[in-house]
Structure 1
Amino acid sequence: MTPFLAEYIGSMLLLLLGNSVVANVLLTKTKGNNSGLIVIAFGWAVAVFVGVYSSATVSGAHLNPAITIALASIGKFDWGSVPSYIAAQFLGAMTGSGLMWLAYKQHFDATEDADAKLAVFCNSPAIPNVLYNLITEAIGTFALMLGVLFIAAPQNSLGALDALPVALLVLGIGVSLGGPTGYAINPSRDLGPRIMHFLLPIKNKGNSNWNYSWIPVVGPIIGAVIAAFVFQLLQA
């Protein structure tokens, strides 16, 4: 398996399981309807575990353009491989969210709330404020990136067994920092599914909130790059 395919499969599994738990909680007539943030946070943690475990030994399990860019910015990843990694991450995220839609199509059809349908695919802020929403995404991704770097530090890369601590890290970010914006902390996790929401024939879906779409892209990249340089300073 090539690194491109590993990143694609890992990202596909990440979004299939992650967005599906949100669908289970938010959509009408599901078995998990209205079960809350804790269920979503645990579901995303398991999604991260599966995504990282499935790809770590081949690609390093970035699964996140912000992580790929941050690692390249401190010389821990080849800039020449950045475009292919990001392409795989976005394609995997789009595929995973498309499969989620197929699994939950009847429930999308039964749900009248257009905002809930959008929330299954991507994030929106609890209180819209460009500056603070951007800061929140940057802080969440800073915590993710710094934690991942410390987890990976002994061998300078993530192995399959590191999937569990990374999953626990994401769980912690979700239940602590997930309140303001829903903790995208990953540009492909938000923008890939948002594109699918726009493209798919979802009944009465409403708009895809493109005005907000840049924040879960720019915020995570800022946070991850800052964390990468802080890590380097701490290691000096």
Structure 2
Amino acid sequence: MITYIFEFIGTAMLILIGNGIVANIVLKGTKGADAGWTGISLAWGIAVFIGVFISADASGAHLNPAVTIALAVAGKFSWATVPGYIVAQILGAMMGNLLVWLNYKKQYEATEDTDAILATFSTSPAIKSPFWNLMTEIIGAFALVFGVFYIASGTMGDSSISLGSLDALPVALLVMGIGFGLGGPTGYAINPARDFGPRLLHSILPIKNKGNSNWGYAWVPIVGPIIGGVLAALVFMLIETL
């Protein structure tokens, strides 16, 4: 049970800081509007650092269904624990974004741009093209998960692999690099829980001028990261056999 609790807490902190910077940039009436993409990429790196550092020693700090599934595919994590981790990650993402909404309540009320409001919850493509948007998410998630396998190799056992608190900084730098280098086309969800949980919350909350939750796009940041994560696991397994 404690592992699920810390997956929840770690993911909540990830989204609180990560989507908090998005809200600070895009909502009307904040003091952070000039931070731009650099601010977003840096803040998401910091968010990952905090989430991983808090939850690493208790749960392994997956914070992402793509990571959890990839570790299970590689035989480094029990499939029996996968559903519980994913539920904890989704609920944690919802809680984190709920706190973002409460923190910026007056700014949400002042904002009329429905796309800006949705951006503080979930991702959307800069240019809508389902196949290429999916490809972007696959590549980004592959880079993330493949990197995680090797960053966590120092704590790898014969049957398990998990992130320790000392891995928080390299994972944060990895996510920051993905944001700077690969994130522009889709906003780099690279995490199904990070997108689905907040998007679901967006559809529920009584937000003024919120518009629709763009569920037609929602499958991309779910399917893409899972495919990317599984591919990373398969490549890692292949390299292990060499």
- TM-score of Structure 1 vs Structure 2, range by shorter chain: over 0.9
Question: Is 1:234 the equivalent of 2:236?
Answer: no
| TM-score when normalising by structure 1 | 0.99
Q: Distance in 1 between the 2:56 and 2:70 partners?
A: 17
For the residue of structure 2 that corresponds to 1:153, the secondary structure is helix
- 1:34 shift after superposition: 3.6
Unaligned runs of at least 5 residues, structure 1: none
Deviations 1:138-179 (A, max 9, x none): 000000001010100121121101000000000000011011
- 1:233 shift after superposition: 1.2
- 1:35 shift after superposition: 2.0
Aligned to 1:50: 50
Residue correspondence of structure 1 range 40-119 to structure 2 within 5 A: 40-119=40-119
For the residue of structure 2 that corresponds to 1:61, the secondary structure is coil
Task: Specify the code of the residue in structure 2 equivalent to 1:63.
Answer: L
- 1:28 shift after superposition: 0.8
Aligned to 2:20: 20
Residue correspondence of structure 1 range 1-236 to structure 2 within 5 A: 2-156=2-156, 157-236=162-241
Task: Specify the code of the residue in structure 2 equivalent to 1:55.
Answer: S
Q: Distance in 1 between the 2:61 and 2:154 partners?
A: 16
Q: Distance in 2 between the 1:207 and 1:181 partners?
A: 18
| TM-score when normalising by structure 2 | 0.96
Q: Distance in 2 between the 1:102 and 1:225 partners?
A: 36
Task: Specify the code of the residue in structure 2 equivalent to 1:168.
Answer: L
Unaligned runs of at least 5 residues, structure 2: 157-161
Q: Distance in 2 between the 1:76 and 1:170 partners?
A: 22
- 1:112 shift after superposition: 1.1
Q: Distance in 1 between the 2:58 and 2:238 partners?
A: 28
Q: Distance in 2 between the 1:40 and 1:27 partners?
A: 14
> After TM superposition, which residue ranges in structure 1, 4 or more long, deviate above 4 angstroms?
none
- 1:74 shift after superposition: 1.3
Deviations 1:196-234 (A, max 9, x none): 110001001000000000100000000000001101111
Deviations 1:48-82 (A, max 9, x none): 00000000001100000011011111111000000
Residue 5 of structure 1 contacts residue 88 of structure 1 at CA under 8 Å; is this kept in 2?
yes
For the residue of structure 2 that corresponds to 1:208, the secondary structure is coil
Number of aligned positions between the proteins: 236
- 1:29 shift after superposition: 1.3
Q: Distance in 1 between the 2:60 and 2:35 partners?
A: 33
Task: Specify the code of the residue in structure 1 equivalent to 2:138.
Answer: A
- 1:183 shift after superposition: 0.2
For the residue of structure 1 that corresponds to 2:30, the secondary structure is coil
Task: Specify the code of the residue in structure 1 equivalent to 2:39.
Answer: V
Residue 26 of structure 1 contacts residue 34 of structure 1 at CA under 8 Å; is this kept in 2?
no
Task: Specify the code of the residue in structure 1 equivalent to 2:221.
Answer: P
Counting aligned pairs with the same residue, the percent is 61
Deviations 1:110-129 (A, max 9, x none): 11111000011100000001
Tell me the C-alpha RMSD between the 2 structures.
0.8
